[in-house]
Amino acid sequence: MAESETETPRTSDYELAQRAAEGDRTAFEELYQRHNRRVYSLCLRMTQNVTEAEDLAQEVFIQLFRKIGSFRGESAFTTWLHRLTVNQVLMHFRKRGVRLEQTTEEGEVPVQIVKGTENPNAMPVVDRIALDKAIGQLPPGYRSVFTLHDIEGHEHEEIARMLGVSVGTSKSQLHKARMKLRGLLRQQNKPK
């Protein structure tokens, strides 16, 4: 009785990956169940488009199936999968002709110093819907850096490597993204 109450330890991602690499489809499905939300969310945050995000998530799992044999467990599975996903989204941007490097110029809406307003509480309480809407209006390069740094928690050095830009560019794009978001959130709060 006591035995049946003890929980069976959860199989690790690494074990599942090994089994999947040997052709165990159930193990691969288990990996999908565990990580599909993480993959989809990252795609959605970077593209801000539900259909594109779903297609990209699909492509990520197809790639994962093809490459799972090359996962040796040196890093966490989630880190490896995360890199695969970011790479897939960036390739998608490249195919679409989005030049991440150029987005520095794309944020041509100058980031202006906002003069003190009459109402010091003009910045709305940040909420998910408002923030998602504002992130959707960022140029792709800013959006990628903001997503990877502030939402996913990567360091600038990692982001620079992933996007193929300098650390300085990553920092500058993050700051511009935050300032632009601030402006957009304030705009959303303006009485119509």
Partner 1 sequence: MNCEKYQDLLSDFIDGSLASQDHHSIEAHLSACGVCAEVRGDLDAIVTYCHEHRGEYDAVPNERALWLRISNLIEAGDLELATDLRTEIPQNAGWWFRLMNRSWQMSLPQLAASMIAVAIIVSVATMIGLRRFGSGGESAGLRSSGVTTVAANGLPLAERYRQQQQTIDYWNQRVELNKARWNPQMRETFERNLNVIDAAVNDSLSHLNQNPHDEVSEEVLNAALNDKVELLREFAEL
Q: Which is nearer to partner 1, 12 or 73 (CB)?
A: 73
- The CB density around residue 92, as the number of other CB atoms within 10 Å, is 17
Minimum distance of partner 1 from residue 65's CB (angstroms): 5
Whether residue 72 contacts residue 18, with contact meaning beta carbons closer than 8 Å, is answered with: no
By CB atoms closer than 10 A (0-12, 13-18, 19+), residue 124 is middle
Minimum distance of partner 1 from residue 8's CB (angstroms): 23
Query: Which positions lie near partner 1, rule CB under 8 A?
Result: 25, 28-29, 32, 36-38, 40-41, 44, 50, 54, 57-58, 61-62, 65, 67, 70, 72, 74, 80, 83-84, 87, 91, 94, 101, 113-117, 120, 123, 125-128, 131, 150-153, 160-161, 164-166, 171, 174-175, 178-179, 181-182, 185-186
CA dihedral (28, 34, 36, 42) in degrees, to 10, reads -130
Minimum distance of partner 1 from residue 192's CB (angstroms): 21
